[in-house]
Amino acid sequence: MTYGVVATVKSILQDSTVTYESEIAACITSSDAYVVSLLAQKGLTVPSPTPQNIIDASNYFAAWMFRKKRDPQSSWIFYTDGERFLNAYCDSVLAVHRNVGKVVVSLYPEEDEVEEV
């Protein structure tokens, strides 16, 4: 399954030409696999429908892969953004799994504000 989108990656890169579309598509293939591998390290998989954070992570990782071939120093902002999207997804999923069977008694729970059911 493909998560990244060529048009979105081009927008992230601020590139409106068609010159690099096949290269961007190849980067998306790699970035999708990278996202799946990073999720697997945490024991997670990509659900269906695909959450927006995973789509965004793949797009930004693809932009990073594309840009680092041309300008390695400036490419890292794309990696950082992709990592932020993926970490936000992982953190939210893992938080839900940790809290299964618990009732939150406060909007901002501390350790002592979560009760076992």
The domain limits of the chain are: 6-116
Spatial distance between the Cα atoms of 64 and 72, rounded to a whole number of angstroms: 9
Q: Tens digits of per-residue pLDDT, 16-75?
A: 888 999 999 999 999 999 999 999 999 999 999 999 999 999 999 999 999 999 999 999
Q: What is the mean pLDDT of residues 4-16?
A: 94
In angstroms, the Cα distances linking 37 to 30, 32, 54, 61, 70 are 10, 9, 12, 13, 25
Residue 50, classed as helix, strand or coil, is coil
Predicted structure pTM score: 0.82
Cβ-in-10-Å burial (0-12, 13-18, 19+) of 79 comes to middle
Grade residue 98 by pLDDT with cuts at 50, 70 and 90: confident
Grade residue 91 by pLDDT with cuts at 50, 70 and 90: very high
